[in-house]
Structure 1
Amino acid sequence: MSAQVEEALQALGARLRGFRKDAGFASGRAFARATSWQESKVSRIENGKQRPSDEDIRVWCEATGQGDQMGDLIAIVRHVDELWMEMRRLLQTGAEKRQQQALPVYGKTKVFRIWHPTVVWGTLQTTEYAAEVFKQVVSYYEIPNDADSAVAKRLERQQYLYKGDRIFNVLLGEQALYTNFGGPEVVKGQLDRLLAVMRLPRLSLGIVPRSASASIWPGNSFSMFDDRLVLVETYSAELSVSQPREIELYTKAFALLKQSAVYGTAVRDLIFTAIQHFDQMPSD
């Protein structure tokens, strides 16, 4: 959980604690008895360790005579949801909607900073490679199979590579050249695509070699949109970072990762080596 989410939950918990005390409940135990809750639940909510549900907020406000504050507090809880969105809920209707939601963000961004240690960044993916990625997404999260439409929406992002004055700073780990989605032919097609797009004038493609001296641990992949938003994906959730001091940490991390990266001819050499690797593998 990010510091931004923790701070939001702690501030909410402090406000609810104040409501409890103002209503004459001297302890969390007394409030727990009045609401038929476990005392530990009251403590976790007040200390920002548990996100209260909308129903929890309703019960709390009614028990403390703060019904007029209910709407405001529920809005705060939903803002926390936006900061830390569970993947299952984010993808509950399929993957296409999430891809559609990304387009306005891309349209507004002037400078992209992208780090993917093990997978080729979505905006640079071929149709076949993206299809294999979404096939796994559908299977893993057990969501409706809209992989074809999700791929189409993902590929719409590529328009931004060719129009406007956007700058794309993309870093991939060398492992991204070898992660096998769909077999050798699919991966080789993806590697050919990287060779083509690295010639684009506003795209800087760097690769962090496996044995490069590391200035910072690789960590999770992240995408930076100007200096206003960072998206970080884990297996369970997508984290939206918008607090300036947290964004500064990702800016610093990206700069340190760049210190380990190679560019230009060295990148082409790494890609050709990866192609040769897959040339030697039997096709499925």
Structure 2
Amino acid sequence: MSSPSHAVDQAKQALCTRLREIRLAAHLTGRDLGDLAGWHSSKVSRIEHGRQTPSESDISTWCRHCGADDQAGDLIASLRTIDEMYVEWRRMQRTGLQRLQKAAVPLYERTSYFRVYEPSLIPGLFQTADYALALMRAVVAFREIPDDSTEAVEARMQRQKVLSSGGRRCAVILEEAALRTRIGDAEVMAGQLGHLLTVASRSNISLGIIPIRNRVMWPTNGFWIFDEERVLVETLSAELTVTQPHEIALYAKAFTQLAEIAVYGAAARTLIASAIAALDNM
């Protein structure tokens, strides 16, 4: 998967290219469009070459004078995606982790169907307090940010309650490695894996685990699909937000293929039990 910054650059370039194509299709020069819009003649060139990011108003004006009003909505949506899609973790976490946990609550509350793929960690919605605390303390130490781990864990535990209301459903696909990646000590891991067995028995939750022997797809980052609204992809340095329908569909396709190579029910429980048994050797 390309880096988030590269993905943003590509999205910006695609928007600029599309605006240029619209102008050319209208048989307007850059000066013509500038005159019609009341802009300085260089503004059109700066936008088309990516040296200036257009505003939503600029896009509406551009499309109106090019006879392409029907395309303005999609282009504005693309602009909003660019604005949202790359948020540096350091900026999000500058005051600690509690704020980050609480900021996600509105998105969780308006989501009715979660699809979650995690290659190496237990997802936050299914973490025990001890597992979450060990994980957050590691994040705090690595990022050298204010330590509000205890408060952040409490916020995460509160956020988990969304799965108990509103008829929400959650489909989770984990790599077997997520069961064996040690977070905290053996006691913390035993509690976490036992909790995973418990939540997997709930009627609104589907848990699939991809055995190491079944791994046939290319490596990818973990991702969360929230209904058909957006996808969040977490990387080491950033959170990538995807809102374009065709990109969401691509992640949905990947999730479907990952789900097809996962095991469920008794087979999944056997993998969890095996990971618990292996803790004795940790």
Q: Please classify the TM superposition score into its range, dividing by the shorter chain length.
A: 0.7 to 0.9
Distance across 2 between alignment mates of 1:47 and 1:6: 13
- Unaligned 5+ segments in structure 1 are 29-41, 53-75
Alpha-carbon distance between aligned partners in 2 of 1:265 and 1:221, rounded to the nearest angstrom = 24
Deviation of the 1:10 alpha carbon = 5.0
Amino acid at match of 1:261: A
- Tell me the SS of whatever aligns to 2:236: coil
SS of the residue corresponding to residue 104 of structure 2 reads helix
The structural deviation recorded for 1:7 is 2.8
How far off its partner does 1:259 sit? 1.0
1:238 corresponds to which letter in structure 2? Answer: E
Question: Residue 153 of structure 2 aligns to which amino acid in structure 1?
Answer: V
Q: 1:244 to 1:3 in 2, by over 3 A?
A: farther
Choose the corresponding residue for 1:127, options 105, 108, 129: 129
User: Does residue 1:264 correspond to 2:265, yes or no?
Assistant: yes
| Cα displacement (A) at 1:46 | 5.7
Matched, 1:219 2:220: yes
**1:189–1:236 distance in 2 versus 1, CA, 3 Å:** same
Instruction: Letter of the 2:85 partner, please give it.
Output: L
CA contact (8 A) 1:4 1:243 kept: no
Within the candidate set 143, 165, 168, 1:166 is matched to 168
CA distance in 2, matches of 1:144, 1:82: 25
Equivalent pairs: percent with the same residue? Answer: 41
Are 1:80 and 2:89 matched, yes or no?
A: no
Aligned AA for 2:125? Answer: T
For residues 171 and 264 of structure 1, the distance between their equivalents in structure 2, rounded to whole angstroms, comes to 13
Deviation at 1:122, TM superposition (A): 0.6
CA 1:252–1:145 in structure 2 vs 1: closer, same or farther (change >3 Å)? same
Q: Does 1:7 align with 2:11?
A: yes
Q: By how many angstroms is 1:3 displaced?
A: 5.2
Counterpart contact for 1:5–1:84, Cα < 8 Å: no
Please state how far the C-alpha of 1:280 moved relative to its aligned partner.
2.8
Which amino acid in 2 is paired with 1:123? L
Could you list the per-position Cα deviations for residues 192-224 of structure 1 after superposition, in whole angstroms to 9, with x for gaps in the alignment? 00111111110001100011052x324000000
Classify 1:82/1:213 alpha carbon distance in 2 versus 1 (closer, same or farther; 3 Å): closer
Aligned to 1:144: 146
CA deviation digits over 1:158-199, x for unaligned, max 9? 212222211100011000000101111111110000111111
Distance 1:51 1:185 in 2: 54
Cα–Cα, structure 1 residues 135 and 47, in superposed 2: closer, same or farther, change >3 Å? farther
* Aligned-partner Cα distance in 1 for 2:99–2:240: 17
Number of equivalent positions:
243
C-alpha RMSD of the superposition: 3.1
In the alignment, what sits opposite 2:116? 114
C-alpha contact (below 8 Å) 2:231/2:243 kept by paired residues: yes
Asked if the contact 1:51–1:77 (Cα under 8 Å) also holds between the matched residues in 2, the reply is: no
Deviation at 1:15, TM superposition (A): 7.4
Q: Hey, what does 2:67 align to over in structure 1?
A: none
Q: Residues 213 and 232 from structure 1, CA distance in 2 versus in 1: closer, same or farther, beyond 3 angstroms?
A: closer
Question: CA separation in 1, counterparts of 2:137 and 2:155?
Answer: 15
- Range moving further from structure 2, 265-274 or 3-12: 3-12
Kindly provide the amino acid, as one letter, of the partner of residue 204 in structure 1.
Answer: S
Deviations 1:62-112 (A, max 9, x none): xxxxxxxxxxxxxx9886342210111111111111110111111111111
Answer whether contact 1:115 1:223 (CA < 8 A) is retained.
yes
TM value normalised by structure 1: 0.76
1:247 matched to 2:248:
yes
Give the match's secondary structure for 1:211: helix
Other-structure match for 2:186: 184
List runs of 5+ in structure 2 lacking aligned partners: 21-29, 35-39, 54-77
- The residue type equivalent to 2:263 in the other structure is V
The residue aligned with 2:25 is none
Q: Give the whole-Å Cα distance in 2 for the aligned partners of 1:265 and 1:166.
A: 24
Q: Using structure 2 for the length normalisation, give the TM-score.
A: 0.76
Runs of 4+ in 1 over 6 A off after TM superposition: 13-16, 76-79
